[in-house]
Amino acid sequence: MVLAPTSAHTEDKDIYSAVWGIAMRNHEQHVDIVPILSRGKHRNPRRGACFMEMASYLAGERWSDHPSCTHPLLAELARLVNDHTSDEARSRLVPMIPSVIGLTSDDPAWDAEIALGAAVAALPIAAAERQQALAVGVLSCERVLAEIEGRPVGSLRDSSRTALEQVPLAYTWARKFARHSRVSRRGFRRHAAATIVRCSVQGIATACVPDAEARMERLLDATIKRCAATRSTAAVQPVDAPSRITG
């Protein structure tokens, strides 16, 4: 049985109780425990909850870590951050849970935007063995977005260029690789985007930086806010203006 934090963690307990109280009001049922966030899947609330399982319950859906109320790739990011965050720090994710409810769209730009944000955040700090894959991921996201937005293929946003230029060897390799490899928009959405997000979160989690967990938390928070800001628009708007790759 997984219970709410003890009195030694009063602030965490208050956060959990507030969020779970919303669920109790929505479902008009009584639960004698307040599950806390923990790693992995859980069969029911008595065994704990991951980020998306708690979101499914708050949304009134069947208990699941893949609820329909949230964009699949945003949900994947939330699960990964949940699972790569320590038990001590995971409670900081709780206030974000209600914010993912209703954040979903059929717009293919969402997948590219979510994946790109993750790759840009991870690329400068990831271990060298991950940097080539992440650099390819950034270029793949940019290609998809260029096609959707009608801008020149090969153009880059300033944030992408800045991240790539911090890892020049990986950037050079990725540009050569990209010339001979191209994923379809459908293939990107079905497979590549999730792979980029997984590699990104793993890259941040294992990076030699003192604030890896805080970086993952900020990434999830920023992604949720970006999706919320663009939910009512026809397409996800670019974060900054693209610039043309030269050379």
Residue 3 located in a structural domain: no
Residue 141 located in a structural domain: yes
Check if the beta carbon of residue 194 is closer than 8 Å to that of residue 140.
Answer: no
SS3 of 101-131: CCCCCCCHHHHHHHHHHHHHHHCCCCCHHHH
Q: Where does 94-222 show beta strands of DSSP type E?
A: 155-157
Residue 121 located in a structural domain: yes
Residue 19 located in a structural domain: no
Helix (H) or strand (E) holding 242: strand 242-244
- pLDDT of 30 reads 47
Band of the pLDDT at 40, cuts 50, 70, 90? confident
- pLDDT of 5 reads 45
Percent of the chain whose pLDDT exceeds 90? 66
Distance, in Å, from the CA atom of 70 to the CA atom of 96, rounded to the nearest integer, reads 13
> Would the pLDDT of 240 be above 80?
no
Cβ–Cβ contacts within 10 Å for residue 1, how many?
Answer: 8
Distance, in Å, from the CA atom of 119 to the CA atom of 153, rounded to the nearest integer, reads 19
Residue 95 located in a structural domain: no
pTM of the model: 0.82
- pLDDT of 8 reads 38
Residue 234 located in a structural domain: yes
> Would the pLDDT of 39 be above 90?
no
Residue 190 located in a structural domain: yes
Check if the beta carbon of residue 96 is closer than 8 Å to that of residue 221.
Answer: yes
Check if the beta carbon of residue 31 is closer than 8 Å to that of residue 45.
Answer: yes
What letter would DSSP give residue 229?
H
Give the domain range for residue 167: 108-244
> Would the pLDDT of 26 be above 90?
no
Residue 181 located in a structural domain: yes
pLDDT in tens, 103-124: 999 999 999 999 999 999 999 9
Count of domains in the chain?
1
- pLDDT of 234 reads 43
